[in-house]
Amino acid sequence: MITIKEIAKLSGVSFSTVSKALNNSSLVTAATKRKVLEVAEQYGYSKNLLAQSLATGKSNMIGLIWQDVVNPVYAQLAMQFYHYFRNHDYEVVMTMTPPEQAVNLFKQLRVDGLIFWGDLEGKTNQFAKRLRELKMPVLIVGSSPDQNFPSIQIDRKAGVREAVSYFQQQGHRRIGMIGSTQESKVQAYKEALLDAGLPFAPEYIVPCELSWERGYEAMMNIPIHPNSPTAYIGCNNLLTRGALRALKERGVHVPEEISLIGYDELPEMAYAEVPLTTVGPSLEEIAVKTVESMIALIQMRDVEASTWITPVLNVRKSVMRVTKD
């Protein structure tokens, strides 16, 4: 493993000149530059990023803290991050260890910035405090454990409202929700019903966690009768697909008997047994705004404390118009 000192010897210049040549500094003649690069190439030189980072105080790395890979939304989003950060000469390194420990790792690695994403709704203020103590650019994507933290916020409430409103337009009155673990969605749902003058009953909310299995189980077991909802919002992509499968197996036709809108927009939503109408943020938009904000944070430029992204409705075939209820 050759170092700049050795390259210096081999090419007959000082090692500080080698450093400059390697960094394409304008303080070096083309000739020496060429000579140095040639030697470097020949001996398979690979710069030591650790040493460089230590010397410069910056790593050109962004730490990405991943919460849950089973959800394809996160997989897609991560891909987008890689893509866009590369365009700005940042490498992103990702870890799946729990946030509390991942924070330490990346702090110790002195990454230039830290991105969190996934659902931090459950995290305590304690954690937000820790994050602030870090004294490094931190950007939260998804939901922030604490307002006035730099973040890319998804306006989930707007998304849920949009779904309720679309159902209403299509003539539905009894609208339910599958999934009960995300406070903001549940609340938005209730508010939207209220504002729209639509009826609500506790059993309209099907308690369920955010996985395919739970969605499936929940909808296998729920009683369906003439007064139960004619339309449901599924709180995420996995659960909604599980729910759809369950309905199918029970012989309940979607959308003829029950309409469905799934939260989260993803290609696979279109591939469900019934192509699912969805409401969800554009993942590309999230990635682009994240990159922008992160770079601004690193350069200490002013950043809006939070950037909001509004989910959009994507009409496919899982919602039916009802004329009479």
Partner DNA sequence: CTGAAAGCGCTTACAG
Q: Where does this chain bind DNA (CB under 7 A)?
A: 1, 3-5, 13-17, 19-20, 22-23, 26-29, 31-32, 45, 47-48, 51-52, 54-57
- The CB-of-208 to a second copy minimum distance in angstroms stands at 15
Nearer residue to a second copy within complex by CB, 109 or 322: 109
The secondary structure of residue 1, as a DSSP letter, is -
Distance CA(236)–CA(129), nearest Å, equals: 29
Is there a contact between 258 and 268 (Cβ–Cβ < 8 Å)?
Answer: no
2 or 270, CB closer to DNA? 2
What per-residue string of b and e applies to 187-212 under the rule 16 or more CB within 10 Å gives b?
Answer: ebbbebbeeeebeeeeebbbebbbbb
CA distance 203 to 206: 7
Residue 94 near which of DNA, a second copy, none (CB within 5-8 Å, type-dependent): a second copy
197-256 positions binding a second copy, by CB under 8 A: 212-213, 216, 242, 245, 248
Q: Which partner, a second copy, DNA, none, binds residue 19 by CB below 5 to 8 Å per kind?
A: DNA
Least distance to DNA from the beta carbon of 137, Å? Answer: 17
Closest CA relative to residue 102, chosen from 143, 73, 135, 130:
130
CB of 296 to DNA, least distance (A): 21
Q: Does 284 bind a second copy (CB under 8 A)?
A: no
107 interface partner picked from a second copy, DNA, none, CB below 5 to 8 A per type: a second copy
Q: How far, in Å, CA of 261 to CA of 235, rounded? A: 9
Task: Name the segment binding a second copy (CB under 8 A); options: 107-115, 117-125, 199-207, 228-236.
Answer: 107-115
| CA geometry: angle 309, 79, 49, nearest 5 deg | 115
Looking at beta carbons only, is 4 or 254 nearer to DNA?
Answer: 4
Task: Give the phi and the psi of residue 164 in degrees, each rounded to 5.
Answer: -60, -45
- By CB under 8 A, name the one of 70, 194, 201, 305 that touches a second copy: 70
CB of 20 to DNA, least distance (A): 5
* Total residues in contact with a second copy, by rule CB under 8 A: 44
Cβ-contact 205, 175 below 8 angstroms: no
67 sits near a second copy (criterion: CB under 8 A): no
Instruction: Spell 248-257 as b/e; 16+ CB within 10 A means b.
Output: eeeeeebbee
Report if residue 315 touches a second copy, rule: CB under 8 A: no
Helix intervals (H) in the chain:
4-11, 15-22, 30-42, 49-56, 72-87, 99-109, 125-133, 156-169, 183-196, 212-221, 237-250, 283-298
Binding at 224: pick from DNA, a second copy, none (beta carbon under 5-8 Å per type): none
124 touching a second copy, by CB under 8 A: no
DSSP state of 91: E
Q: Between residues 9 and 253, which has the closer beta carbon with respect to DNA? A: 9
Q: Indicate the residue type of 86.
A: R
Query: x-or-dash pattern for a second copy, window 81-100, by CB under 8 A?
Result: -x---x----xxxxxxx---
Query: Contact, 229 vs 245, CB < 8 A?
Result: no
According to the binding rule CB under 8 A, does residue 128 interact with a second copy?
no
Is there binding between residue 48 and a second copy (CB under 8 A)? yes
Site of interaction with a second copy (CB under 8 A):
1, 44, 46-51, 53-54, 59, 69-70, 72, 75-76, 78-79, 82, 86, 91-97, 104-105, 107-110, 133, 135, 212-213, 216, 242, 245, 248, 268, 271, 273
